[in-house]
Structure 1
Amino acid sequence: MPAGGRPTVRSRRLGTTLRRYRQVAGLDQPQAAEIIASSQTRVSRIESGHVTARPLEIRAMLKAYGVEDPEVRPRLEDLAKSANRRGWWLEHAAHLRADYLDRISLEDDATYIREWQPTLIPGLLQVPAYAEAVIRSAPNFIAPSRVAQLLKVREERKAKIDEREDAVNYTAIIWEPVVVQPIVKPEVYRDQLAYILEAGKRHNVTLQVLPVSAGLKAGMPSAFSSFSFESEPTSEAVTLENLRGSSILEADEDLTVYTNAFDQLRSAALDPDASARLIRGVLQRSKDETK
Protein backbone atom coordinates (compact mmCIF):
# COMPACT_ATOMS: atom_id res chain seq x y z
CA MET A 1 0.00 0.00 0.00
CA PRO A 2 1.37 3.48 -0.81
CA ALA A 3 2.91 5.12 2.24
CA GLY A 4 0.33 6.99 4.27
CA GLY A 5 -2.46 5.80 1.95
CA ARG A 6 -1.58 8.51 -0.59
CA PRO A 7 -1.25 7.26 -4.17
CA THR A 8 2.28 7.44 -5.51
CA VAL A 9 2.90 8.38 -9.11
CA ARG A 10 3.86 4.78 -9.87
CA SER A 11 0.86 3.19 -8.14
CA ARG A 12 -1.40 5.65 -9.97
CA ARG A 13 0.21 4.85 -13.32
CA LEU A 14 -0.26 1.13 -12.67
CA GLY A 15 -3.90 1.65 -11.76
CA THR A 16 -4.57 3.87 -14.76
CA THR A 17 -3.07 1.27 -17.10
CA LEU A 18 -5.10 -1.58 -15.60
CA ARG A 19 -8.27 0.51 -15.82
CA ARG A 20 -7.60 1.30 -19.47
CA TYR A 21 -7.14 -2.41 -20.31
CA ARG A 22 -10.34 -3.28 -18.41
CA GLN A 23 -12.36 -0.68 -20.28
CA VAL A 24 -11.00 -1.81 -23.65
CA ALA A 25 -12.07 -5.36 -22.73
CA GLY A 26 -15.59 -4.07 -22.05
CA LEU A 27 -15.64 -5.15 -18.40
CA ASP A 28 -16.84 -3.23 -15.35
CA GLN A 29 -15.32 -3.13 -11.87
CA PRO A 30 -17.63 -5.82 -10.38
CA GLN A 31 -16.52 -8.18 -13.13
CA ALA A 32 -12.87 -7.32 -12.47
CA ALA A 33 -13.46 -8.03 -8.79
CA GLU A 34 -14.68 -11.55 -9.68
CA ILE A 35 -11.53 -12.12 -11.73
CA ILE A 36 -9.27 -11.50 -8.73
CA ALA A 37 -11.72 -13.01 -6.20
CA SER A 38 -11.95 -9.75 -4.32
CA SER A 39 -14.25 -6.78 -3.88
CA GLN A 40 -15.20 -3.94 -6.19
CA THR A 41 -13.73 -1.62 -3.56
CA ARG A 42 -10.31 -3.21 -3.96
CA VAL A 43 -10.48 -2.91 -7.75
CA SER A 44 -11.45 0.74 -7.39
CA ARG A 45 -8.55 1.39 -5.01
CA ILE A 46 -6.12 -0.42 -7.31
CA GLU A 47 -7.25 1.66 -10.28
CA SER A 48 -7.01 4.90 -8.30
CA GLY A 49 -3.52 3.98 -7.04
CA HIS A 50 -4.51 3.89 -3.36
CA VAL A 51 -3.39 0.25 -3.16
CA THR A 52 -0.93 -1.61 -5.35
CA ALA A 53 -2.04 -4.72 -7.22
CA ARG A 54 -0.25 -7.95 -6.35
CA PRO A 55 1.57 -9.85 -9.13
CA LEU A 56 -1.07 -12.63 -9.13
CA GLU A 57 -3.82 -10.02 -9.48
CA ILE A 58 -1.99 -8.34 -12.36
CA ARG A 59 -1.59 -11.66 -14.17
CA ALA A 60 -5.25 -12.61 -13.68
CA MET A 61 -6.46 -9.21 -14.86
CA LEU A 62 -4.29 -9.12 -17.96
CA LYS A 63 -5.36 -12.63 -18.94
CA ALA A 64 -9.03 -11.79 -18.52
CA TYR A 65 -8.59 -8.49 -20.36
CA GLY A 66 -7.05 -10.26 -23.35
CA VAL A 67 -3.69 -8.48 -23.10
CA GLU A 68 -1.27 -10.75 -24.95
CA ASP A 69 1.77 -8.50 -25.40
CA PRO A 70 4.56 -10.42 -23.58
CA GLU A 71 6.26 -7.19 -22.51
CA VAL A 72 3.24 -5.81 -20.65
CA ARG A 73 3.08 -8.18 -17.68
CA PRO A 74 6.73 -7.87 -16.54
CA ARG A 75 6.55 -4.10 -17.01
CA LEU A 76 3.45 -3.76 -14.82
CA GLU A 77 4.83 -6.18 -12.22
CA ASP A 78 8.03 -4.12 -12.04
CA LEU A 79 5.93 -1.00 -11.67
CA ALA A 80 4.02 -2.63 -8.80
CA LYS A 81 7.25 -3.67 -7.08
CA SER A 82 8.68 -0.18 -7.38
CA ALA A 83 5.48 1.64 -6.41
CA ASN A 84 6.92 2.55 -3.01
CA ARG A 85 10.59 2.49 -3.96
CA ARG A 86 12.56 5.17 -2.19
CA GLY A 87 13.99 7.57 -4.75
CA TRP A 88 16.86 9.99 -4.14
CA TRP A 89 14.41 12.90 -3.96
CA LEU A 90 12.70 11.54 -0.85
CA GLU A 91 15.71 12.64 1.17
CA HIS A 92 14.31 16.13 0.63
CA ALA A 93 10.64 15.19 1.02
CA ALA A 94 10.11 17.13 4.23
CA HIS A 95 11.02 20.36 2.44
CA LEU A 96 9.32 19.85 -0.94
CA ARG A 97 5.70 20.07 -2.04
CA ALA A 98 3.95 16.80 -2.81
CA ASP A 99 3.29 17.88 -6.41
CA TYR A 100 6.99 18.62 -6.92
CA LEU A 101 7.91 15.16 -5.60
CA ASP A 102 5.43 13.66 -8.07
CA ARG A 103 7.01 15.55 -10.95
CA ILE A 104 10.49 14.36 -10.01
CA SER A 105 9.20 10.79 -9.84
CA LEU A 106 7.82 11.14 -13.37
CA GLU A 107 11.15 12.50 -14.59
CA ASP A 108 13.05 9.68 -12.92
CA ASP A 109 10.96 6.97 -14.63
CA ALA A 110 10.60 8.62 -18.03
CA THR A 111 12.16 7.44 -21.28
CA TYR A 112 10.93 10.55 -23.13
CA ILE A 113 10.36 14.04 -21.74
CA ARG A 114 8.90 16.77 -23.95
CA GLU A 115 8.59 20.27 -22.56
CA TRP A 116 7.13 23.60 -23.70
CA GLN A 117 8.28 26.68 -21.81
CA PRO A 118 7.05 30.18 -22.79
CA THR A 119 8.39 32.12 -19.78
CA LEU A 120 11.66 30.61 -18.48
CA ILE A 121 14.55 28.39 -19.43
CA PRO A 122 13.28 24.87 -18.56
CA GLY A 123 14.35 23.63 -15.13
CA LEU A 124 16.36 20.70 -16.52
CA LEU A 125 18.47 23.20 -18.49
CA GLN A 126 18.99 25.91 -15.87
CA VAL A 127 22.47 26.77 -14.60
CA PRO A 128 22.67 27.25 -10.79
CA ALA A 129 22.80 31.05 -10.86
CA TYR A 130 19.77 31.26 -13.16
CA ALA A 131 17.90 28.71 -11.05
CA GLU A 132 18.67 30.69 -7.89
CA ALA A 133 17.34 33.89 -9.44
CA VAL A 134 14.13 32.08 -10.44
CA ILE A 135 13.68 30.49 -7.01
CA ARG A 136 14.22 33.77 -5.17
CA SER A 137 11.71 35.54 -7.41
CA ALA A 138 8.95 32.94 -6.83
CA PRO A 139 5.54 34.54 -6.19
CA ASN A 140 5.13 32.44 -3.04
CA PHE A 141 7.77 33.41 -0.52
CA ILE A 142 10.57 30.87 -0.13
CA ALA A 143 12.61 31.13 3.04
CA PRO A 144 16.29 31.89 2.32
CA SER A 145 17.24 28.79 4.30
CA ARG A 146 15.52 26.60 1.71
CA VAL A 147 17.18 28.06 -1.38
CA ALA A 148 20.37 26.00 -1.18
CA GLN A 149 18.39 22.80 -0.76
CA LEU A 150 16.12 23.58 -3.71
CA LEU A 151 19.19 24.32 -5.84
CA LYS A 152 20.68 20.96 -4.87
CA VAL A 153 17.48 19.19 -5.91
CA ARG A 154 17.46 21.11 -9.22
CA GLU A 155 21.04 20.02 -9.95
CA GLU A 156 20.26 16.39 -9.14
CA ARG A 157 17.24 16.51 -11.45
CA LYS A 158 19.48 17.67 -14.30
CA ALA A 159 21.38 14.38 -14.19
CA LYS A 160 18.38 12.82 -15.93
CA ILE A 161 19.36 14.42 -19.25
CA ASP A 162 23.09 13.71 -18.98
CA GLU A 163 24.46 12.02 -22.08
CA ARG A 164 24.74 8.30 -21.32
CA GLU A 165 23.58 4.99 -22.77
CA ASP A 166 20.27 4.93 -20.87
CA ALA A 167 19.68 8.67 -21.04
CA VAL A 168 16.17 10.05 -21.33
CA ASN A 169 15.23 11.53 -24.70
CA TYR A 170 14.56 15.17 -23.92
CA THR A 171 12.98 17.75 -26.23
CA ALA A 172 12.46 21.35 -25.11
CA ILE A 173 10.69 24.08 -27.04
CA ILE A 174 11.33 27.59 -25.73
CA TRP A 175 9.59 30.78 -26.81
CA GLU A 176 11.94 33.30 -28.44
CA PRO A 177 11.50 36.10 -25.84
CA VAL A 178 12.88 33.76 -23.16
CA VAL A 179 16.12 33.61 -25.16
CA VAL A 180 16.23 37.20 -26.38
CA GLN A 181 15.12 39.11 -23.26
CA PRO A 182 17.33 38.54 -20.19
CA ILE A 183 15.56 38.36 -16.84
CA VAL A 184 18.77 37.86 -14.87
CA LYS A 185 22.13 39.62 -14.62
CA PRO A 186 23.98 39.81 -17.97
CA GLU A 187 26.77 37.46 -16.89
CA VAL A 188 24.27 34.86 -15.67
CA TYR A 189 22.30 35.29 -18.88
CA ARG A 190 25.37 34.61 -21.02
CA ASP A 191 26.35 31.56 -18.96
CA GLN A 192 22.82 30.25 -19.34
CA LEU A 193 22.77 30.68 -23.11
CA ALA A 194 26.18 29.04 -23.43
CA TYR A 195 24.98 26.11 -21.33
CA ILE A 196 21.87 25.38 -23.39
CA LEU A 197 23.96 25.55 -26.57
CA GLU A 198 26.24 22.84 -25.18
CA ALA A 199 23.33 20.79 -23.86
CA GLY A 200 21.72 20.91 -27.29
CA LYS A 201 24.72 19.03 -28.73
CA ARG A 202 23.95 15.91 -26.67
CA HIS A 203 22.56 13.02 -28.70
CA ASN A 204 19.54 12.73 -26.38
CA VAL A 205 18.66 16.44 -26.21
CA THR A 206 16.69 18.39 -28.82
CA LEU A 207 16.31 22.14 -28.31
CA GLN A 208 14.02 24.29 -30.47
CA VAL A 209 13.05 27.95 -30.30
CA LEU A 210 9.55 29.08 -31.21
CA PRO A 211 9.78 32.46 -33.00
CA VAL A 212 7.50 35.28 -31.90
CA SER A 213 6.10 35.38 -35.43
CA ALA A 214 4.87 31.77 -35.08
CA GLY A 215 3.31 32.17 -31.64
CA LEU A 216 -0.29 32.62 -32.73
CA LYS A 217 -0.02 29.82 -35.27
CA ALA A 218 1.19 27.44 -32.57
CA GLY A 219 -1.61 28.25 -30.16
CA MET A 220 0.71 29.34 -27.32
CA PRO A 221 -0.52 27.18 -24.42
CA SER A 222 0.88 27.70 -20.93
CA ALA A 223 3.93 25.71 -19.83
CA PHE A 224 3.62 21.93 -19.74
CA SER A 225 5.73 18.78 -19.76
CA SER A 226 4.86 15.42 -21.27
CA PHE A 227 6.27 12.10 -20.04
CA SER A 228 6.54 8.70 -21.72
CA PHE A 229 7.76 5.53 -20.03
CA GLU A 230 8.11 3.05 -22.90
CA SER A 231 10.31 2.66 -25.98
CA GLU A 232 7.95 4.89 -27.98
CA PRO A 233 7.21 8.57 -27.17
CA THR A 234 3.52 8.00 -26.44
CA SER A 235 2.45 10.51 -23.81
CA GLU A 236 1.37 8.82 -20.55
CA ALA A 237 1.35 11.82 -18.21
CA VAL A 238 1.38 15.60 -18.52
CA THR A 239 2.27 18.16 -15.85
CA LEU A 240 0.91 21.71 -15.92
CA GLU A 241 2.58 24.59 -14.10
CA ASN A 242 0.58 27.15 -12.13
CA LEU A 243 1.02 29.55 -9.22
CA ARG A 244 0.06 26.81 -6.76
CA GLY A 245 2.60 24.34 -8.11
CA SER A 246 1.85 21.73 -10.74
CA SER A 247 -0.88 19.24 -11.54
CA ILE A 248 -0.74 15.89 -13.35
CA LEU A 249 -3.08 14.89 -16.18
CA GLU A 250 -3.43 11.21 -17.10
CA ALA A 251 -6.84 10.91 -18.81
CA ASP A 252 -6.64 9.78 -22.43
CA GLU A 253 -8.54 12.81 -23.74
CA ASP A 254 -6.16 15.20 -21.93
CA LEU A 255 -3.07 13.38 -23.19
CA THR A 256 -4.37 13.60 -26.75
CA VAL A 257 -4.92 17.35 -26.46
CA TYR A 258 -1.40 18.00 -25.16
CA THR A 259 0.23 15.61 -27.62
CA ASN A 260 -1.40 17.56 -30.44
CA ALA A 261 -0.40 20.87 -28.85
CA PHE A 262 3.24 19.82 -28.60
CA ASP A 263 3.28 18.57 -32.19
CA GLN A 264 1.88 21.92 -33.32
CA LEU A 265 4.50 23.82 -31.34
CA ARG A 266 7.29 21.66 -32.70
CA SER A 267 6.11 22.15 -36.29
CA ALA A 268 6.02 25.94 -35.84
CA ALA A 269 9.40 26.15 -34.06
CA LEU A 270 12.78 26.61 -35.69
CA ASP A 271 14.62 23.36 -36.30
CA PRO A 272 17.47 22.53 -33.86
CA ASP A 273 20.23 23.92 -36.11
CA ALA A 274 18.37 27.19 -36.76
CA SER A 275 17.55 27.44 -33.06
CA ALA A 276 21.23 27.05 -32.15
CA ARG A 277 22.18 29.77 -34.65
CA LEU A 278 19.62 32.13 -33.12
CA ILE A 279 20.94 31.48 -29.59
CA ARG A 280 24.56 31.89 -30.69
CA GLY A 281 23.67 35.21 -32.30
CA VAL A 282 21.96 36.46 -29.14
CA LEU A 283 24.91 35.32 -27.03
CA GLN A 284 27.43 37.04 -29.31
CA ARG A 285 25.47 40.31 -29.25
CA SER A 286 25.39 40.20 -25.47
CA LYS A 287 29.16 39.68 -25.35
CA ASP A 288 29.72 42.53 -27.81
CA GLU A 289 27.66 44.88 -25.62
CA THR A 290 30.09 44.37 -22.73
CA LYS A 291 33.19 45.33 -24.73
Structure 2
Amino acid sequence: MTSDDRLSYRRRKIGQALRRYREERNLTQDAAARLVERSPASLSAYENGHRAIRPRDLRQILDHYGVTEEKERKRLLDLAAQGRKEGWWRDYMSHEDAFSVDFASLEAESSRSRSFETVAVPGLLQTEAYTRAVFAAYEPVRVQPRDKNAIAFRMARQRILDRPSMRAAWIIGEPVLRLMVGGRDVMRSQCWKLVEVTEREHLDLRVVPGTVGAHPGMAGSFTILDVGSDDPMKVVAVDCLTRGWLIDEPPSIEYYERVYAELQALALSKSDSRALIEAIASEL
Protein backbone atom coordinates (compact mmCIF):
# COMPACT_ATOMS: atom_id res chain seq x y z
CA MET A 1 0.00 0.00 0.00
CA THR A 2 1.43 3.38 -0.95
CA SER A 3 1.20 6.49 1.22
CA ASP A 4 -1.43 7.99 -1.07
CA ASP A 5 -3.63 4.93 -0.55
CA ARG A 6 -4.02 6.03 3.05
CA LEU A 7 -5.81 9.22 2.03
CA SER A 8 -8.34 7.50 -0.18
CA TYR A 9 -11.67 8.99 0.93
CA ARG A 10 -11.26 12.29 -0.90
CA ARG A 11 -10.09 10.51 -4.06
CA ARG A 12 -13.08 8.17 -3.97
CA LYS A 13 -15.48 11.10 -3.67
CA ILE A 14 -13.85 12.91 -6.59
CA GLY A 15 -13.79 9.70 -8.63
CA GLN A 16 -17.47 9.01 -8.01
CA ALA A 17 -18.35 12.51 -9.17
CA LEU A 18 -16.23 12.24 -12.32
CA ARG A 19 -17.77 8.90 -13.21
CA ARG A 20 -21.27 10.31 -12.66
CA TYR A 21 -20.61 13.34 -14.86
CA ARG A 22 -19.16 11.16 -17.61
CA GLU A 23 -22.09 8.74 -17.56
CA GLU A 24 -24.62 11.60 -17.50
CA ARG A 25 -23.10 12.72 -20.77
CA ASN A 26 -23.29 9.19 -22.25
CA LEU A 27 -19.54 9.09 -22.80
CA THR A 28 -17.51 5.91 -22.82
CA GLN A 29 -14.28 6.07 -20.91
CA ASP A 30 -12.31 6.16 -24.18
CA ALA A 31 -14.43 8.98 -25.57
CA ALA A 32 -14.18 10.92 -22.33
CA ALA A 33 -10.42 10.43 -22.22
CA ARG A 34 -10.10 12.00 -25.67
CA LEU A 35 -12.37 14.87 -24.62
CA VAL A 36 -10.43 15.70 -21.46
CA GLU A 37 -7.06 14.98 -23.08
CA ARG A 38 -6.07 12.18 -20.75
CA SER A 39 -5.24 8.54 -21.34
CA PRO A 40 -8.06 6.06 -20.63
CA ALA A 41 -5.87 4.52 -17.93
CA SER A 42 -5.43 7.88 -16.17
CA LEU A 43 -9.12 8.67 -16.32
CA SER A 44 -9.96 5.20 -14.99
CA ALA A 45 -7.49 5.68 -12.11
CA TYR A 46 -9.16 9.00 -11.22
CA GLU A 47 -12.66 7.52 -11.35
CA ASN A 48 -11.71 4.52 -9.22
CA GLY A 49 -9.92 6.66 -6.64
CA HIS A 50 -6.58 5.01 -7.33
CA ARG A 51 -4.75 8.22 -8.18
CA ALA A 52 -4.73 11.68 -6.64
CA ILE A 53 -5.67 14.48 -9.01
CA ARG A 54 -4.24 17.98 -8.99
CA PRO A 55 -6.79 20.77 -8.61
CA ARG A 56 -5.82 22.31 -11.97
CA ASP A 57 -6.32 18.97 -13.76
CA LEU A 58 -9.65 18.46 -12.01
CA ARG A 59 -10.74 21.97 -12.99
CA GLN A 60 -9.90 21.22 -16.63
CA ILE A 61 -11.91 17.98 -16.61
CA LEU A 62 -14.90 19.72 -15.01
CA ASP A 63 -14.68 22.41 -17.70
CA HIS A 64 -14.69 19.78 -20.47
CA TYR A 65 -17.70 18.09 -18.87
CA GLY A 66 -19.52 21.41 -18.66
CA VAL A 67 -19.87 21.32 -14.88
CA THR A 68 -20.64 24.94 -14.01
CA GLU A 69 -22.41 24.68 -10.65
CA GLU A 70 -20.08 26.68 -8.40
CA LYS A 71 -20.94 24.92 -5.13
CA GLU A 72 -20.18 21.50 -6.60
CA ARG A 73 -16.99 22.68 -8.30
CA LYS A 74 -15.74 24.24 -5.07
CA ARG A 75 -16.53 21.10 -3.08
CA LEU A 76 -14.56 18.88 -5.45
CA LEU A 77 -11.65 21.29 -5.84
CA ASP A 78 -11.41 21.66 -2.06
CA LEU A 79 -11.25 17.88 -1.72
CA ALA A 80 -8.45 17.75 -4.28
CA ALA A 81 -6.51 20.51 -2.54
CA GLN A 82 -6.94 19.02 0.93
CA GLY A 83 -5.67 15.65 -0.23
CA ARG A 84 -2.38 17.23 -1.28
CA LYS A 85 -1.73 19.10 1.97
CA GLU A 86 1.34 18.18 3.96
CA GLY A 87 -0.50 17.61 7.23
CA TRP A 88 1.07 16.24 10.42
CA TRP A 89 -0.53 12.85 9.76
CA ARG A 90 1.78 12.21 6.81
CA ASP A 91 4.59 11.46 9.26
CA TYR A 92 2.60 8.39 10.35
CA MET A 93 1.46 7.10 6.96
CA SER A 94 3.91 4.22 6.86
CA HIS A 95 2.98 3.10 10.39
CA GLU A 96 -0.78 3.47 10.89
CA ASP A 97 -3.62 1.64 9.17
CA ALA A 98 -5.28 3.31 6.19
CA PHE A 99 -8.58 4.09 7.94
CA SER A 100 -6.91 5.80 10.91
CA VAL A 101 -4.80 8.06 8.70
CA ASP A 102 -7.70 8.86 6.39
CA PHE A 103 -9.89 9.70 9.38
CA ALA A 104 -7.20 11.84 11.03
CA SER A 105 -6.74 13.86 7.83
CA LEU A 106 -10.49 14.53 7.61
CA GLU A 107 -10.67 15.32 11.32
CA ALA A 108 -7.88 17.87 10.95
CA GLU A 109 -9.86 19.67 8.23
CA SER A 110 -13.11 19.65 10.20
CA SER A 111 -14.86 22.62 11.76
CA ARG A 112 -17.05 20.44 13.98
CA SER A 113 -16.86 16.96 15.47
CA ARG A 114 -19.60 15.13 17.39
CA SER A 115 -18.85 11.75 18.94
CA PHE A 116 -20.62 9.14 20.99
CA GLU A 117 -18.68 6.51 22.94
CA THR A 118 -20.17 3.56 24.75
CA VAL A 119 -17.24 2.00 26.64
CA ALA A 120 -13.94 3.85 26.18
CA VAL A 121 -12.90 7.47 26.62
CA PRO A 122 -12.84 9.15 23.17
CA GLY A 123 -9.38 9.09 21.60
CA LEU A 124 -9.13 12.88 21.47
CA LEU A 125 -9.58 13.03 25.25
CA GLN A 126 -7.39 10.16 26.40
CA THR A 127 -4.32 10.57 28.56
CA GLU A 128 -1.22 8.81 27.32
CA ALA A 129 -1.41 6.30 30.18
CA TYR A 130 -5.05 5.50 29.35
CA THR A 131 -4.20 5.00 25.67
CA ARG A 132 -1.32 2.73 26.61
CA ALA A 133 -3.65 0.60 28.76
CA VAL A 134 -6.26 0.38 25.99
CA PHE A 135 -3.66 -0.72 23.45
CA ALA A 136 -2.20 -3.27 25.88
CA ALA A 137 -5.61 -4.91 26.24
CA TYR A 138 -5.63 -5.78 22.54
CA GLU A 139 -2.07 -7.09 22.27
CA PRO A 140 -2.93 -10.74 23.18
CA VAL A 141 -5.30 -10.98 20.19
CA ARG A 142 -3.40 -8.98 17.59
CA VAL A 143 -1.70 -10.82 14.72
CA GLN A 144 1.00 -8.12 14.46
CA PRO A 145 2.29 -6.04 17.38
CA ARG A 146 1.02 -2.46 17.34
CA ASP A 147 3.49 0.01 15.87
CA LYS A 148 5.62 1.86 18.41
CA ASN A 149 4.35 5.18 17.02
CA ALA A 150 0.67 4.38 17.66
CA ILE A 151 0.48 6.26 20.97
CA ALA A 152 2.25 9.29 19.51
CA PHE A 153 -0.22 9.25 16.60
CA ARG A 154 -3.21 9.35 18.95
CA MET A 155 -1.67 12.11 21.04
CA ALA A 156 -0.88 14.12 17.89
CA ARG A 157 -4.56 14.06 16.89
CA GLN A 158 -5.39 15.95 20.07
CA ARG A 159 -3.71 19.15 18.87
CA ILE A 160 -6.89 20.11 17.00
CA LEU A 161 -8.55 20.76 20.38
CA ASP A 162 -6.31 23.81 20.79
CA ARG A 163 -8.04 25.48 17.84
CA PRO A 164 -10.76 27.80 19.24
CA SER A 165 -12.56 27.53 15.88
CA MET A 166 -12.93 23.76 16.28
CA ARG A 167 -16.28 22.89 17.83
CA ALA A 168 -15.95 19.46 19.37
CA ALA A 169 -18.59 17.64 21.39
CA TRP A 170 -18.69 14.22 22.97
CA ILE A 171 -21.41 12.19 24.61
CA ILE A 172 -20.22 9.24 26.66
CA GLY A 173 -22.09 6.55 28.53
CA GLU A 174 -21.53 6.41 32.29
CA PRO A 175 -19.86 2.97 31.91
CA VAL A 176 -16.95 4.81 30.24
CA LEU A 177 -16.20 6.39 33.62
CA ARG A 178 -16.71 3.19 35.58
CA LEU A 179 -14.55 0.81 33.52
CA MET A 180 -11.23 0.51 35.37
CA VAL A 181 -8.87 0.92 32.40
CA GLY A 182 -5.27 0.76 33.58
CA GLY A 183 -6.14 0.75 37.28
CA ARG A 184 -7.24 3.42 39.75
CA ASP A 185 -4.36 5.85 39.22
CA VAL A 186 -4.80 5.86 35.45
CA MET A 187 -8.56 6.30 35.72
CA ARG A 188 -8.25 9.06 38.33
CA SER A 189 -5.93 11.06 36.06
CA GLN A 190 -8.17 10.36 33.09
CA CYS A 191 -11.28 11.60 34.90
CA TRP A 192 -9.57 14.82 35.94
CA LYS A 193 -8.53 15.40 32.34
CA LEU A 194 -12.19 15.05 31.36
CA VAL A 195 -13.08 17.61 34.01
CA GLU A 196 -10.62 20.02 32.38
CA VAL A 197 -12.35 19.48 29.04
CA THR A 198 -15.70 20.49 30.52
CA GLU A 199 -14.15 23.81 31.53
CA ARG A 200 -13.15 24.80 27.98
CA GLU A 201 -15.71 26.94 26.24
CA HIS A 202 -15.41 25.52 22.72
CA LEU A 203 -15.50 21.89 23.89
CA ASP A 204 -18.59 20.08 25.12
CA LEU A 205 -18.61 16.80 27.06
CA ARG A 206 -21.79 15.22 28.40
CA VAL A 207 -22.58 11.94 30.12
CA VAL A 208 -25.59 9.69 29.61
CA PRO A 209 -26.22 8.36 33.13
CA GLY A 210 -26.75 4.66 33.65
CA THR A 211 -30.20 5.34 35.06
CA VAL A 212 -31.42 6.28 31.55
CA GLY A 213 -31.59 2.62 30.63
CA ALA A 214 -32.00 1.62 26.98
CA HIS A 215 -31.13 4.31 24.42
CA PRO A 216 -30.49 4.54 20.65
CA GLY A 217 -26.71 4.59 21.06
CA MET A 218 -26.48 0.98 22.16
CA ALA A 219 -25.54 -0.09 18.62
CA GLY A 220 -22.08 1.37 19.12
CA SER A 221 -19.76 4.35 18.93
CA PHE A 222 -19.58 6.82 16.05
CA THR A 223 -18.25 10.24 15.08
CA ILE A 224 -19.90 12.84 12.84
CA LEU A 225 -17.44 15.20 11.15
CA ASP A 226 -18.25 18.48 9.40
CA VAL A 227 -15.28 18.62 7.01
CA GLY A 228 -14.47 22.18 5.97
CA SER A 229 -15.95 25.43 7.24
CA ASP A 230 -17.97 26.86 4.35
CA ASP A 231 -20.85 24.53 3.49
CA PRO A 232 -19.01 21.59 5.12
CA MET A 233 -19.20 18.00 3.90
CA LYS A 234 -20.61 15.63 6.53
CA VAL A 235 -18.99 12.26 7.14
CA VAL A 236 -19.77 9.62 9.76
CA ALA A 237 -16.92 7.43 10.98
CA VAL A 238 -17.59 4.01 12.48
CA ASP A 239 -14.79 1.75 13.65
CA CYS A 240 -14.78 -1.89 14.70
CA LEU A 241 -12.28 -4.66 15.39
CA THR A 242 -11.25 -5.41 11.83
CA ARG A 243 -12.09 -2.31 9.79
CA GLY A 244 -13.52 1.19 9.76
CA TRP A 245 -16.13 2.88 7.59
CA LEU A 246 -16.60 6.43 6.38
CA ILE A 247 -20.30 6.93 5.65
CA ASP A 248 -21.59 9.87 3.63
CA GLU A 249 -24.98 8.87 2.23
CA PRO A 250 -27.42 11.65 3.27
CA PRO A 251 -30.10 9.30 4.69
CA SER A 252 -27.50 7.54 6.85
CA ILE A 253 -26.01 10.83 8.06
CA GLU A 254 -29.48 12.12 8.93
CA TYR A 255 -30.12 8.95 10.95
CA TYR A 256 -26.88 9.32 12.91
CA GLU A 257 -27.68 12.97 13.57
CA ARG A 258 -31.10 12.03 14.92
CA VAL A 259 -29.50 9.46 17.19
CA TYR A 260 -26.96 12.00 18.40
CA ALA A 261 -29.70 14.56 19.09
CA GLU A 262 -31.65 11.99 21.11
CA LEU A 263 -28.56 11.04 23.10
CA GLN A 264 -27.91 14.71 23.77
CA ALA A 265 -31.44 15.07 25.10
CA LEU A 266 -30.91 12.08 27.42
CA ALA A 267 -27.49 13.22 28.63
CA LEU A 268 -26.79 15.34 31.68
CA SER A 269 -26.07 19.03 31.16
CA LYS A 270 -22.45 20.10 30.77
CA SER A 271 -22.26 21.25 34.40
CA ASP A 272 -24.03 18.16 35.77
CA SER A 273 -21.75 15.95 33.66
CA ARG A 274 -18.73 17.68 35.18
CA ALA A 275 -20.13 17.14 38.67
CA LEU A 276 -20.60 13.42 37.99
CA ILE A 277 -17.07 13.04 36.62
CA GLU A 278 -15.65 14.89 39.63
CA ALA A 279 -17.60 12.64 41.99
CA ILE A 280 -16.34 9.47 40.31
CA ALA A 281 -12.77 10.81 40.25
CA SER A 282 -12.98 11.54 43.98
CA GLU A 283 -14.02 7.96 44.65
CA LEU A 284 -10.93 6.51 42.96
Q: TM-score range by the shorter chain?
A: 0.7 to 0.9
Map of 1:58 onto structure 2 = 59
The CA deviation at 1:88 is 1.9
Kept in 2, the 8 Å contact 1:169–1:205? The answer is yes
The CA deviation at 1:143 is 6.5
Distance 2:77 2:232 in 1: 20
The CA deviation at 1:53 is 6.2
Distance 1:36 1:99 in 2: 35
Q: Specify every segment of 5 or more residues in structure 2 that has no aligned partner in the other structure, as ranges.
A: none
Map of 2:202 onto structure 1 = 204
Distance 2:157 2:275 in 1: 27
**Does the C-alpha gap of structure 1 residues 251 and 125 become closer, same or farther in structure 2, counting only changes over 3 Å?**
same
Structure 2 counterpart SS, 1:111: strand
Distance 1:150 1:132 in 2: 9
Distance 2:127 2:230 in 1: 29
Map of 1:240 onto structure 2 = 238
Q: Percent identity?
A: 25
* Deviation string, structure 1 residues 228-276 (Cα, Å, up to 9, x no partner): 1133796621111111142222222322222222222222211211111
Distance 1:159 1:54 in 2: 28
Q: What count of residue pairs does the alignment treat as equivalent?
A: 277
The one-letter amino acid of 2:109's match is D
Map of 1:220 onto structure 2 = 218
Structure 1 residues 127-166: aligned runs within 5 Å: 127-138=127-138, 140-141=141-142, 146-147=147-148, 149-162=149-162, 164-165=163-164
Map of 2:123 onto structure 1 = 123
- Whether 1:85 aligns to 2:85 is yes
Kept in 2, the 8 Å contact 1:9–1:105? The answer is no
The one-letter amino acid of 1:283's match is A
Map of 1:10 onto structure 2 = 10
Give TM-score, length-normalised by structure 2: 0.81
Structure 2 counterpart SS, 1:253: helix
Distance 2:34 2:80 in 1: 16
Give TM-score, length-normalised by structure 1: 0.79
Structure 1 residues 31-70: aligned runs within 5 Å: 37-38=35-36, 45-51=45-51, 52=53, 54-55=55-56, 57-58=58-59, 61=62, 64-65=66-67, 67-69=69-71
Distance 1:29 1:271 in 2: 54
Structure 1 residues 247-266: aligned runs within 5 Å: 247-266=245-264
Q: Specify every segment of 5 or more residues in structure 1 that has no aligned partner in the other structure, as ranges.
A: 287-291
The CA deviation at 1:211 is 1.7
Structure 2 counterpart SS, 1:119: coil
Distance 2:8 2:100 in 1: 12
Distance 2:154 2:6 in 1: 24
The CA deviation at 1:194 is 0.3
Structure 2 counterpart SS, 1:216: coil
Map of 1:181 onto structure 2 = 179
The one-letter amino acid of 1:67's match is E
Cα RMSD over matched residues?
Answer: 3.4
